[in-house]
Amino acid sequence: MICPSCGWDNVPGNEACTHCQHSLTPLDRPKATNRVERSLMEDHVRDLCSNPPTTLRPDATVRQAVDLMLEKNVGAVLVVDQDQKLLGIFSERDLLKKIAGNYALWQNLRIGDFMTAKPASVAAGDTLNFVLHKMDGGGYRHLPVLENGRPQRVVSVRDMMRFIIGMCDDGSRRPSANGRH
């Protein structure tokens, strides 16, 4: 990477020129070529039309979790302690992989025994690109948005897709917070 300040030919990936210490970090960032790429690189989790968290305590039953997921039309519930700190997530995937076919009487089992403990999470200030990368890399469909260890929202793949196509739950067009859409 050629330093724009002194012309020194640096090793790709250097954060600063080895000759003059000029910052090279801005030169290493990908360039957005369209509106979607720009949105993914610049917009944040707080810009999404994401859902408030649907929560249960770890002693709640699988039946209660399933009923709540159906009622709220969500694919996961967050499992929290008495202080509302995140302990885990119980999703449709947990139900299918850990319970279905393994237990005849599953309704009264505790979700704390089948949840995914210490799930990956994001913060409201994280970029959408970071969220998509985390979802793709980990195979997640739901990510809790945490503030001080407490869930504030849940970002789903559906939320991400709706944002990318510019639609909210009410079907209206919605500009991003930075006004580019």
Give a yes or no: residue 57 inside a domain. Answer: yes
DSSP 81: -
Give a yes or no: residue 139 inside a domain. Answer: yes
| Residue 88 to residue 120: CA distance in whole angstroms | 9
- Phi, psi angles (nearest 5°) of residue 161: -65, -45
Give a yes or no: residue 103 inside a domain. Answer: yes
pLDDT in tens, 27-69: 766 677 777 778 788 888 998 877 789 999 999 999 999 999 9
Sign of CA dihedral 11, 15, 21, 23: positive
Give a yes or no: residue 2 inside a domain. Answer: no
Domain count along the chain: 1
**Residue 119 near residue 87 (C-beta atoms within 8 A):** no
The whole-model pTM stands at: 0.74
pLDDT in tens, 147-165: 999 999 999 998 888 888 8
Q: Residue 33: what pLDDT?
A: 73
Give a yes or no: residue 136 inside a domain. Answer: yes
Domain span at residue 141 reads 45-164
Give a yes or no: residue 55 inside a domain. Answer: yes
CATH number of the domain at 98, please: 3.10.580.10
**Residue 111 near residue 58 (C-beta atoms within 8 A):** yes
Give a yes or no: residue 5 inside a domain. Answer: no
**In this model, does residue 142 exceed pLDDT 90?**
yes
Among 105, 160, 96, smallest CA distance to 128 is for 160
**In this model, does residue 177 exceed pLDDT 60?**
no
**Residue 2 near residue 12 (C-beta atoms within 8 A):** no
Question: At 166, is the pLDDT very low, low, confident or very high (cuts 50, 70, 90)?
Answer: confident
**Residue 150 near residue 122 (C-beta atoms within 8 A):** no
Among 135, 176, 133, smallest CA distance to 155 is for 135
**Residue 114 near residue 49 (C-beta atoms within 8 A):** no
